[in-house]
Amino acid sequence: MAETSNKADYLVGVDLGGTKILSGVFTTSLKCVGRSKMSTKAERGPEAVVERIAHCVQDVVDECDLNLKQVRGIGIGAPGSVDPENGKVMFAGNLGWKDMPLKRELEDHLGLPVFLGNDCNVCALGVHEVELEGKPKNMVGIFLGTGIGGGLIIEGKLYSGFNRTAGEIGHMLLEVNGPKCTCGNRGCWEALASRSALFRQVQQAVKDGQKTLLTSMLGDDLRDLRSGDLRKAIKQGDKFVEHIVEEAAKYTGIAVANLINVIGPEVVVVGGGLMDALENEMMPVVIETAREHAFPGADKGVKILPSKLGDDAGITGGAVLARRETK
């Protein structure tokens, strides 16, 4: 519970995903004082989603015994291709959005300044500022979830490149004739090591007759499979699941090595829901494989760390964005 104050001393961070909206209230020193969660319901259309975001923000502010006047600004990370300057989501496949003026719409609803960024960029900002205290000059943030995304901090600042697509690291091709990816290519990192890739491999193998504890846990169709189930199965000695997760960790280690060779970061942070659920199983393999594959000398002194922020990375980064923009 936050102390009552009449000054606009709070920040709100929002993480807009294809299935859920997370919001969090933060102090200006970036301490989280409350969280709220709501389903996105993208199928109801953009207007309804904007209302739900506004609702989720109002809920969390009220939950903290605050009112909107005490909020200085709102930072929001949105999926897909985002234009931060104009506050627009240019394209977001999983929301079915195109050219959506999210900043303006939310400002109309809430009467507060809203700042927008790509979801993985915003997560990287949160990790850099809160988890690493803004220290590394150059950082790569990797987020393993349904897909794989990234955010780059270069010379201390979020870097998004010419088309604001820098950090589309999930579509780095690692295996020329590898499995098909949603982007149309084959062998992208995302098609080899994301949660969707793991689930697809498990489901295909079960269909082909593979025995696994997962079916006794969840039934043959594995409809409700979650990342945590993979961890449980491994803990119970399921060698098949262990192997699939280990392969994904190896590909991730190779991708980390590629990123170290190309970008030369001081720190690589690996986060996201999949890593959160399988950190103990994946992270040692990721680090070992990355060190093996980095160009000699390129990984010297480079830290490869799991993110501790987990699901909070997005709302934290949103608060960082809001703080930066309202300073």
The contact set with its own copies (CB under 8 A) reads 81, 90-91, 137-138, 150, 154-155, 159-169, 171-176, 183-185, 251, 254, 257-259, 261-266, 292-293, 295-302
**Residue number with CB closer to its own copies (51 or 266):** 266
Rounded least distance, CB 165 to its own copies, Å: 4
Rounded least distance, CB 297 to its own copies, Å: 5
Rounded least distance, CB 79 to its own copies, Å: 13
Strand pairing report for 157-159 and 148-154:
antiparallel
Instruction: Look at the block and give the residue holding tokens 């964005």.
Output: 321
Rounded least distance, CB 181 to its own copies, Å: 10
Rounded least distance, CB 199 to its own copies, Å: 21
**Residue number with CB closer to its own copies (114 or 139):** 139
SS3 165: coil
| Calpha distance 323→325 (Å, rounded) | 6
Per DSSP, what are the bridge partners of residue 22? 15, 37
Rounded least distance, CB 94 to its own copies, Å: 14
Rounded least distance, CB 166 to its own copies, Å: 3
**Residue number with CB closer to its own copies (29 or 163):** 163
For 301: left if phi > 0, alpha if psi spans -120 to 50, otherwise beta; the answer is: left
Instruction: For the beta carbon of residue 122, count every other beta carbon within 10 angstroms.
Output: 34
H helices of 220-311, where? Answer: 227-235, 239-263, 273-293
**Residue number with CB closer to its own copies (61 or 144):** 144
Q: Which residues are within 8 A (CB) of 133 and not within 5 positions of it... i.e. 6 or more apart?
A: none
Closest CA to 26 of 40, 49, 8: 8
**Residue number with CB closer to its own copies (48 or 298):** 298
Edge-to-edge order in the sheet of strand 267-271: 157-159, 148-154, 139-144, 267-271, 303-306
**Residue number with CB closer to its own copies (237 or 297):** 297
| Calpha distance 234→245 (Å, rounded) | 9
**Residue number with CB closer to its own copies (59 or 83):** 83
Closest CA to 77 of 323, 244, 313, 325: 313
